[in-house]
Amino acid sequence: MAGTAALAALQEPALTPAQTGIKARSEQALAELFGFERFHPGQIDVITRIMEGQDTLAILATGAGKSLCYQLPALLLGGTTVVVSPLIALMKDQLDMLAQRGIHEVVAINSTLSEDQEAATLARIGRGEVKIAFVTPEKLENESFISLLKTIAVPLFVVDEAHCISAWGHDFRPAYLALGQVIAAIGHPTVLALTATATPAVREDILIQLGIPNTRTIVKGFDRPNLRYEVIRAENETAKLKALKELFKVGLAGTGIIYTATIKNALEVQRFLNDELGVPAAVYHSKLQKHDRVMVHNLFMDESIRAVVATNAFGLGIDKPNIRFVVHYDLPGSVEAYTQEAGRAGRDGLLSRCILLYRMSDTRVQNYFLTGKYPDIEDVQKIFGTLEYFGGQSDGVSLADLRKISQLPLTKLKVVLALLKKAKFIEMRARARYGLTPNALENRELVLNLTNYETKKAYDQSKLAMMLQYCETRSCRRKFILNYFGEDYDAINCGACDNCLKANAPKAVRGETAPLPGSGFRIADVVFHPKFGQGTVERAEKDLVTVLFPNVGYKTLLASAVKPEAKIA
């Protein structure tokens, strides 16, 4: 397989927008460097824009080959491409995959490196020996690393899992908030933001946070026709286990994943499968030792087991195309989270089942998770006061000490620190050590405005309500999902969800389009409500509309309760 020699033969000076032949050159690189015959839908559109130096936000479905969209241009462009990735496991998978193809000018900088290993890696970057540098967002909070990037050519800055930058996204990472400032600091290279799950509101926020507000968005392939969406309601845990038993007895073929909301449930379900059903299964969660995680991963990839029972710690970067089923034993926190996890099934294009078991009380678990996520003003004052008290320490206060003194959960503490840092009230003085800035000391009366986080909490609770609405809808589940992500889908019957398969509609042929919904509204219509203000229509069915209001989240209302923006008096 082609490696360094093939790369040297293909690499030329970066193309300008006026130059032609990008598609042919990209297809040549696709075959020689990656061994593929053709691009997936959307890939060549993204690659062409990158090669022309245009910032891009790409929303590509799970399994659509997002990594190729930056790997291929990075290998053809001069300089070092920086790829921000939220998970160390994802970085390792990318490095391993490229190494198998003979491409070794790639490094990952994360917490697994020793000081000597990190120093050697940074030296390689400084000498221009690296084509792709994978980094965690936390690493980009380090001023010395930013200074290094300023000394080299960075043609492309990639933000993978870009929904993590948005406070409205389902997997918000506070460290992502600094990326817009990093992009500006290193001279604004071409920016590529990638994600598989972003609603229109999240897409807009991604672009604002990265400082590229007028960037074109490429959206491809939310519809996965080979996935069969099903929901089973259960009254209690016993009924859930009984439903799981029936599924394995009559319908679940091949290997798959069973997601649970908690480690406790993962362990119980795995025991049930092994002991009661005789189904070989392993458990995977964030507290497993590294060698145990690797063992479970290998058992799954080799199909030595039928299922992995896991929390959401399992799945990102899993390159297994023939996952035949994904079962959610507990209710996910949002449609985004559900779609991302369910979308790991059937990447080979063959029929696969996405089944959700739920009971109404499942919402309590997700609401419990939400209570630990967002800071209030007392939390912020506690951290600010601690930093002020220890202001005499020139090297700042460590993250570990802040956590010990404040007694805040780590996630909430990191959100507070990210907010204070973005407001320029604190600075990082050493590795994971923080201190107050002169600006903070001169303006003690300034209080961080947390209104947005109260709004965010309400917004996330409304997303949980939308997840419940998905479970309870009697109409097409595919349409529900596509509408949620801003895509129209007017087929009367998708032919591949439990509701459509059960529907007694002999005239409903797959692909046949329906007239305008009875509400009179379409997806993305801007409407006005006297109490909630202006919002955007996310779903429209019969006499109901679901509207996303910036300040309160999703609300499902009678269509008569809102007015089109143009009709506002």
Average pLDDT, the chain: 84
Residue 247 and residue 328 in one domain: yes
User: What is the chain's length?
Assistant: 569
CATH number of the domain within which 552 lies: 2.30.30
pLDDT value of residue 531: 87
Q: Angle of helix 451-472 relative to helix 362-371, nearest 10 degrees? A: 170
The residue ranges of DSSP E strands in 116-261, in sequence order, are 132-135, 156-159, 190-195, 216-220, 227-233, 256-259
Residue 399 and residue 340 in one domain: no
Is 461 part of a structural domain of the chain?
Answer: no
For the entire predicted model, the pTM comes to: 0.74
Q: How far apart are CA 286 and CA 289, in angstroms?
A: 8
CATH number of the domain within which 416 lies: 1.10.10.10
Is 492 part of a structural domain of the chain?
Answer: no
Q: How far apart are CA 365 and CA 372, in angstroms?
A: 12
Residue 344 and residue 406 in one domain: no
How do residues 242-276 score in pLDDT, each as one tens digit? 999 999 998 788 999 999 999 999 999 999 999 99
Residue 360 and residue 406 in one domain: no
Residue 48 and residue 89 in one domain: yes
Q: Which two tokens stand for residue 10?
A: 């293909």
Is 205 part of a structural domain of the chain?
Answer: yes
Please check the confidence at residue 182 and state whether its pLDDT lies above 80.
yes
Q: How far apart are CA 221 and CA 207, in angstroms?
A: 20
How do residues 421-450 score in pLDDT, each as one tens digit? 777 788 877 667 888 888 777 766 555 555
Range of the domain at 527: 515-567
Is 207 part of a structural domain of the chain?
Answer: yes
How do residues 496-547 score in pLDDT, each as one tens digit? 899 999 874 444 444 444 444 456 787 778 888 888 888 888 777 778 888 8
Query: Do the strands 533-541 and 397-398 form a parallel or antiparallel pair, or are they unpaired?
Result: unpaired
Is 479 part of a structural domain of the chain?
Answer: no
- pLDDT-derived band at 279 (thresholds 50, 70, 90) equals very high
Residue position matching structure tokens 């309160």: 552
Q: Which two tokens stand for residue 234?
A: 């259960």
